[in-house]
């Protein structure tokens, strides 16, 4: 077995966990949502989420591990068996909000944005596209949908799923006018980079998750501090930013008191990496991103949707024999 093929200590890679059932689960929810509405969806989901929380031991343990690390910084708090159940419930709510946003039920005026909504959708006044770093904290799908439905802005979201085309079909059925496009990318090769560069030059947005190890080349990560421990972050987003030569923003969409708040910050006008010091420079940008994410995770822990061991280190199968 090649050195590039890896597993994660104790459990499967996040991509292996999420791929199974993701498309069919969302399609089933979309069907119930359109026929019976949100309330029936919530009622139907609750026993399913309870079942998942009790019997999906790896996912439950991973969420509880996240809370334990949070508690290390706040010794007065304790972790119990049900501490992570709110994350499962909120994850279900987030799935419904995705459908609502794609259906146009969550509008621009329903979203609060730092600096005003116009400031978010006018990130590139010179009509040159931007690269957005997002995470699995909160529900960034809401802002993707609102942007795609309410502004003349094409939003390209890089995803790992093999069902990207099918997900796109679900979106089109909800709202044919959506400018949101899901693009299946497991690695950023020269052809992918060239295509994304042309999109940026046309003024489109490119969105990439920067909080998880890559699907392929799973060793291609940088270990940076996160909640008191080093966690693997992919180096791909920073290399992509270097290639695209465009402004880079960090964006999160977090629910507070029933209202989605979009928190965004310019990370750099352009990320440049030198051949000589690439590792150190990637580390610098990854630390900057992880620090931003850590602050939000501490403020909104119940919206943490990384249901895998975030701090696990990839182990090469060669060494596991």
pLDDT at residue 206 is higher than 80: yes
Task: Give the whole-angstrom CA distance, residue 197 versus residue 156.
Answer: 12
Chain mean position to CA 275: 28
Distances in Å between the alpha carbon of 28 and those of 95, 96, 175, 200? 11, 11, 17, 34
Q: What is the pTM of this model?
A: 0.84
**Would you state the pLDDT for residue 61?**
93
Q: Which residue has the higher pLDDT, 234 or 77?
A: 234
DSSP 212: S
pLDDT tens by residue, 99-147 = 887 777 877 777 887 655 455 555 555 567 889 999 999 988 787 666 6
**Would you state the pLDDT for residue 205?**
87
Task: Identify whether the C-beta of residue 137 lies closer than 8 Å to the C-beta of residue 262.
Answer: no
Mean pLDDT throughout 153-170?
A: 69
Q: Which residue has the higher pLDDT, 185 or 242?
A: 242
The overall average pLDDT reported for the chain is 80
Domain residue limits, the chain: 9-307
């Amino acid at each position: 077995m090649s050195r590039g093929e890896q597993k994660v200590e104790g459990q499967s890679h996040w991509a292996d966990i999420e791929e199974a059932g993701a498309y069919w689960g969302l399609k089933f929810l979309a069907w119930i949502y359109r026929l019976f509405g949100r309330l029936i969806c919530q009622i139907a989901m609750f026993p399913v989420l309870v079942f998942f929380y009790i019997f999906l031991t790896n996912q439950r343990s991973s969420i509880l591990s996240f809370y334990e690390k949070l508690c290390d910084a706040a010794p007065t708090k304790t972790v119990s068996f049900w501490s992570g159940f709110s994350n499962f419930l909120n994850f279900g709510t987030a799935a419904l909000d995705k459908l609502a946003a794609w259906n146009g039920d969550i509008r621009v005026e329903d979203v609060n944005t730092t600096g005003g909504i116009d400031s978010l959708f006018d990130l590139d006044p010179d009509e040159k596209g931007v690269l957005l770093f997002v995470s699995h904290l909160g529900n960034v799908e809401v802002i993707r949908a609102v942007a795609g439905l309410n502004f003349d802005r094409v939003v390209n979201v890089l995803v790992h799923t093999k069902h990207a085309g099918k997900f796109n079909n679900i979106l089109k059925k909800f709202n044919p006018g959506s400018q949101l496009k899901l693009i299946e990318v497991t690695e950023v090769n020269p052809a992918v980079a060239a295509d994304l560069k042309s999109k940026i030059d046309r003024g489109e947005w490119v969105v990439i998750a920067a909080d998880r190890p890559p699907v392929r080349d799973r060793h291609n990560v940088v270990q940076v501090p996160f909640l008191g421990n080093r966690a693997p972050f992919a180096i791909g987003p920073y290399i992509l930013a270097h290639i695209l030569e465009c402004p880079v923003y960090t964006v999160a969409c977090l629910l507070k008191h029933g209202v989605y708040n979009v928190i965004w910050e310019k990370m750099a006008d352009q990320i440049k990496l030198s051949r000589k010091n690439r590792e150190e420079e990637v580390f610098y940008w990854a630390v900057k991103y992880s620090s931003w994410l850590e602050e939000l995770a501490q403020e909104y822990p119940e919206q943490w949707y990384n249901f895998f061991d975030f701090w696990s280190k990839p182990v090469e199968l060669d060494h596991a024999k």
